[in-house]
Amino acid sequence: MTVTELKELIWRYYMSYWNNRRICSANDGLPPMVKRQQYYSSLQESA
């Protein structure tokens, strides 16, 4: 594996973690992805 490939692999993992799986206290302890799903499902229910 080259250094460039390794950097890309690390970057993808970091962005995936940061945007989808991390626990966020501002979201009542939910990961951002779960909070987004709740938000969009509430929009569909109200429509």
Domain count, the chain: 1
Asked if 31 contacts 44 with a C-beta cutoff of 8 angstroms, the reply is no
| Domain extent at residue 26 | 3-46
CA distance 44 to 9: 35
pLDDT at 47 over 90: no
Rounded to whole angstroms, the Cα distance separating 8 from 23 reads: 24
Give the tens place of pLDDT for each residue, 20-45.
Answer: 888 888 888 989 889 999 999 999 98
Q: What is the pTM of this model?
A: 0.63
At residue 18 the predicted structure's pLDDT band, cuts being 50, 70 and 90, is confident
